[in-house]
Amino acid sequence: MDISPESPACKPTPVRKRLQNRRACETFAFQHQGADFTMSTGCYPDGTMGEVFINAAHANSALDALASDAAIALSFALQHGADLSTIELAMKRTAGGDPSSPIGAALDRLLP
C-alpha cells in the first residue's frame, strides 16, 4: 500500500475551529445506569456547540476517566466540523433504544 503524501489515502486534515477564550457555557447534572455525571458545554459566539466536558461523581475513577476522554474526543470532532446529530446516531444503543454509554446519554440530552 502506498502511504506517500501523494497517496489518495493521505487526505488533508480539516482545520480546527478554536473556541474563544471566553465563551458561553452551560452545566447540568444527569444520571446514566445509576451513576451520576456532570456535563458542561461551551459554544461559539453563534451558539454552535464546540466543546463538551463530562465528569463522573467519583473523581479519578475509571468511569470518570472514560467519560472525560470520550467528551474530549467529541469536542475535537466538533471543532473539526463533525455533525453532532450524526455522532449521536453512531453511538451504541441497548435493544430498547436507550444509550449504552454516558457519552450517548449526554448526546441524547444535548439534541432534541
| 5-47 pLDDT tens trace | 666 666 666 788 989 899 889 999 999 999 999 999 999 999 9
Per-residue pLDDT at 14: 74
Per-residue pLDDT at 12: 66
Average pLDDT over residues 73-82: 93
Asked if residue 76 has pLDDT above 60, the reply is: yes
Mean pLDDT for the chain overall: 89
Q: What are phi and psi of 81, to 5 degrees?
A: 95, 10
Q: Using H for helix, E for strand and C for coil, what is the string for the chain?
A: CCCCCCCCCCCCCCCCCCCCCCCCEEEEEEEECCEEEEEEEEECCCCCEEEEEEEECCCCCHHHHHHHHHHHHHHHHHHCCCCHHHHHHHCCECCCCCECCHHHHHHHHHCC
Q: What is the pTM of this model?
A: 0.80
Q: Closest Cα partner for 39 from 67, 9, 20?
A: 67
Using a pLDDT cut of 70, give the percent of the chain over it.
Answer: 88
